[in-house]
A and B are shown apart, each in its own frame.
Chain A
Amino acid sequence: MSDLKSGISRRSVLKGAAIGGIGIAAGGSLLAGCGSKATGPLAYGARSVDTGPTAQNEALIAAYTAKTENEVNYNATESNAFQNNLSQYLQGTPDDTFEWMAGYRMQFFAEQGLLADLTPVWDTIGDQYDESYKIASTGLDGKQYFVPKSWYPWGLHFRKSMFADLGLNADNVTNWDEYLKMLDGMKKKGLVGFAAGDKGGWEAMGTFDILNARINGYQFHVDLLAGREKWTDAKVTEVFRHWEMLVPYMNPNVLDLEWDGAMQLLLQKKAGSMLMGSWFGGNFKEQSEADYADLSIMPFPEINPAYGRDTVDAPIDGWCVAANGTNNEGGADFLAFAGDIEGVNATLAAKDAKGALIPMTSANKGQDTSSYDAFQKEQLAVMAEAKYITQFLDRDTRPDFAGPVVGPAIQSWFKNPKDVAKIQDTLQAQWDALPPLA
């Protein structure tokens, strides 16, 4: 039996990013010495090759180079390849600083000694972040190993124009029954009510997370992922029972579409709603400004009144410094700049190929949320409602369980939704059989 350490147990309340846009005045930094050292050339590892994030990174690096005259070598890898290679990358020839995710995924590598201690960086920029971000950036030994950059909530995305055509009002879809009625109405119009793609094996985890949190509450969800509750529990059966009610409203080729396939359904107005993280705003914007303006998000409806809509998956992306990099000091110095409001503003000023600003929800308290567009404000609203934040299943539990076990288990459930009991049994058996972490 395996039990994860307390590093990911009860999270404290996160409200800061939701409310506090007004704090330190944008553009000003009261802290001296943020990214102003000459530390020599350093390497930056990006884990995306998409145009939007690349433009943002280039803007950030340009600002840093202008300020410190330290040369930065930019090294981008496609996301999946980056994740698969991370263990080798960190042991071998990592960049000095690289993009990564918060949660157990980061704590694991810190514990193996592959990440550099960033507590000094937090000493300088720590007050620009809420406590919960600091907790999310802390390793199992109490030191910080991560600097947050941005976050996005998981919620139900829809198009305002489609809702208008259907005579729907997002404010009226607050609980499960209303949501099912909405889906029913969409189906009658020939639309896919709940677009889903799970070819990659991880996309549907978001649905599991939110259903579990809604039905059984935040504490049960966290305990389940940490091994303190059992997958064979009747509560988990309830999750699948509700999920099965959504199946008639899904597209039939769930296992053949990845997340971008489901997004296409929404983009092409073939689907009414999609549960997803809000990172793809940029894709809609690339299509057209009108499409982006049409995009909206609402929290997943309440199921159990005891819990309401108090939990949301909001993974935090950010950076780490690789212990095996050649210039740890440079990496830390860069992050002190990137995490500071100065770096954040440089990132936010980046423009895409069409010359428009690229939306990003920063973790930094200082981000001027008054300049947020409508979609970003809605994301804030989704976050504001939630008392508890989770990082997403594959970041909140053991990596040798999430990808290899839970992923295919959910996929086999899609193949045969009646097999719930068997799937629960194998999940628990495989959790029990996990080898001790070495």
Chain B
Amino acid sequence: MSIDLNLQAAATKYKNKQKVKDRFISALIGVFAIVWIFPIVWTIWTSLRPYKDVRANGVFSMPKSLNLQNYADAISRMELPLYFANTFAITIPAVFLTLFFGSLIAFVVSRYSFKWNVSLLLLFTAGNLLPAQLVFIPVFKMYITLGKALGIPRLLYDSPWGVVLIHVAFQMGFATFVLSSYMKTVPKEISESAMVDGASVYVHYTKVMLPLLRPALASLAVLMTTWIYNDFFWALVLMSTDSKRPITSALGRLQGEFVTDYNLLAAGAAIAALPTLIVFFVLRKQFVSGLTLGSTKG
């Protein structure tokens, strides 16, 4: 009995020690968390101050006024609606096609046993990890050659579709992998009974599997939207008309154009970041579960 008590006492001592340690750790992490978000906070702060105020009184002066004027200016002077429209024109089709194609491959690979199932998975996943610059020149040449051959020079180069397709080609691998992992958790019996009922492959996919995939598709959609939205490389090199670029690629130009007007630039950057931030805060659960599916198996 006393031995138990001793053990318990020892355990409690450890627990208390741990509690102290925990408070310290929590405080440390807390301080760091504040430092962590400081750059973002500073940018938002900068965006709320009028340029004239800062020019006259300096960056650290107490603000005479805080308003959203910079945001209004940013929207009108930086042509943000146009760039956002371009962004959506690229992001929405890209996400849709990526999920669609990914689900097709994942479906075949996880529901049917073919010899080349694993090879396909390997191929797609490895493709996702290749550096983007490895493919740039041939893709560019392909785009303009095809365009010239068909008489539509802007078919793929300098067109949102060219950017959409390259995103789809690269991200397909991740989508396939995540969806096939997820599909493995769907009981075989469902598919078996469908096949016994004489369902065609097409019906199997559309009526049986697709509805079950909704949660995974939702999570994946959130992740993909964020990634594709945030990309700026492909639109930069595959488009030559600045007014067709998405907001992230356009930020580079805006930084050059408004280089000294920090407050305006801060507002522009804040607006550009807004969609992903909204998605993150509202759909956080999907975000995390998307990554969960992607990082672990089963």
Contact = CB atoms under 8 A, between A and B. Distances in A.
Q: Decide if A and B touch, CB cutoff 8 A.
A: yes
B95 to A, nearest CB: 26
Contacts of B140: 88, 91-92
Interface residues of B, number: 20
A78 B240 contact: no
- Of B140, B144, B241, most buried by chain A (CB within 10 Å of CB) is B241
Nearest to A325: B153
A309 B110 CA distance: 78
Given A78-B253, A80-B256, A81-B252, A93 B240 contact: yes
B83 interface: no
A24 interface: no
Nearest to B141: A91
A260 interface: yes
A9 to B, nearest CB: 33
- Of A77, A85, A88, most buried by chain B (CB within 10 Å of CB) is A88
A76 B254 CA distance: 12
Interface in B126-183: 140, 143-144, 147, 153-154, 157-158
Contacts of A88: 140, 157, 237, 240
A50 interface: yes
Contacts of A75: 241-243
Contacts of B288: none
Interface in B161-217: none
Size category, A interface: 10 to 19
Contacts, number: 54
B256 A49 contact: yes
A91 B144 contact: yes
B75 interface: no
A224 to B, nearest CB: 32
A398 to B, nearest CB: 20
A232 to B, nearest CB: 34
A253 interface: no
Given A81-B252, A93-B154, A76 B259 contact: no
Contacts of A93: 144, 147, 153-154, 157-158, 240-241
Nearest to A46: B242
A348 B153 CA distance: 35
Nearest to B241: A75
B240 A85 contact: yes
A279 B236 CA distance: 27
Contact of B257 (A78, A94, A324): A78
Given A88-B240, A93-B240, A326-B153, 4 more contacts: A49-B256, A91-B140, A91-B144, A92-B240
Interface of A: 49-50, 75-81, 85, 88-89, 91-94, 260, 324, 326
12 contacts: A75-B243, A78-B252, A81-B252, A91-B144, A92-B140, A92-B143, A92-B147, A92-B153, A92-B240, A260-B259, A260-B260, A324-B153
Interface of B: 140, 143-144, 147, 153-154, 157-158, 236-237, 240-243, 252-253, 256-257, 259-260
Give 9 closest A-B pairs by Cβ, nearest first. Answer: A78-B253, A92-B157, A78-B256, A89-B240, A93-B158, A49-B257, A77-B242, A92-B144, A93-B153
